[in-house]
Amino acid sequence: RNYRAKPHSATASLNTFVSLLAMGANMPEVVLNDGRKMPQVGLGTWKSKPGEVKNAVKTAIEYGYRHIDCAAVYKNEAEVGEALSELFAEGAVTRAELWVTSKLWNDFHASEDVPKACEQTLNDLKLDYLDLYLIHWPVTGNTGPALSPSIEETWKAMEALCTSGKCKSIGVSNFSMKKLAAMKSYAKIFPAVNQVELHPLLRQDALLQAAAELGCHLTAYSPLGSPDSSSMIGHDGAKLMELPLIQQIGQAVGKSAAQVLIRWAVQRGTSVVPKSVTPSRIETNLDVLEWSLSDEQMAALSYIEPQVRMLHGKFWCKADGPYKTVQDLWDEAE
């Protein structure tokens, strides 16, 4: 691979940097149900502000990341596109070496709107195709007892994008076991990925098992508990990295709490997309590939109770819509 990378920080030693490049070159990949291979660790871009995300993407690629997770609703895809164009022009990475994911927003679920939304994302990212395109939420904002447009209508339009080559793989995000399993009855191309909130405070063990049985890979978003969205959404995700157990394991392995959480996701077999715009954290978030947690440490992290959903989805629930409660949204018993 043609790396023309330079350390972003004067404090980053050459040895550390060379090690990170080696990790990027040896990035583990997950094989999806369509046979395509996705880099297991990616850079998340949710809440990355304009003026910050371009540098974050360039830093990540230079450090060895080959997977960038985007979405139209993040309102920063044009800036991500600028970064990608510059990286391609510089020869830092080729398009074929890079995995780019984006997501269809809730108000573009109608069959005629899906290709328009995808085209806008491609224009913003300055790309000819997406590696993966996801339905962001099983939500459209409609009133009435049933979701409209239906997931089936939206999915058929997603399949058409896949057939046309605009999207190499397609999938969903924030789908429950029930919603995912229901797609078996009509999907000609079953979702390759379901991107959901996953961390030791929301393991979603049953969903992980069910998705595997259905042939759908899980990607972990908000693997650190999304502490920077706690005030915006109203949750207590900041406590995840502060848990004594996670601090103790970090001390035992000589790594940060964030690295422990990302490594837990990797070792569990999921892919994971931690977000950062800070060069030092982008660097250390990738330093999770050449060491491992013990069986005892993995077990301890897999038995934390109670389980808590940070991205609870309350904002999609309304009395006159298809989801009156969060239990309706996630298909959970009250």
- The residues carrying an active-site annotation are 74
Half-sphere exposure of 52 (CA within 13 A, CB side): 14
Of 283, 301, 289, residue with least CA distance to 199? 301
218: buried, middle or exposed (CB in 10 Å: 19+, 13-18, 0-12)?
A: buried
Name the phi and psi angles at 149, rounded to 5: -60, 155
Written as one letter, the residue type at 109 is: H
Helix (H, G, I), strand (E, B) or coil at 30: strand
Number of neighbouring beta carbons within 10 Å of residue 256:
17
Helix (H, G, I), strand (E, B) or coil at 272: strand
What are the C-alpha distances in Å from 52 to residues 11, 47, 56, 58, 125? 20, 10, 6, 10, 16
Of 56, 60, 54, 58, residue with least CA distance to 41? 60
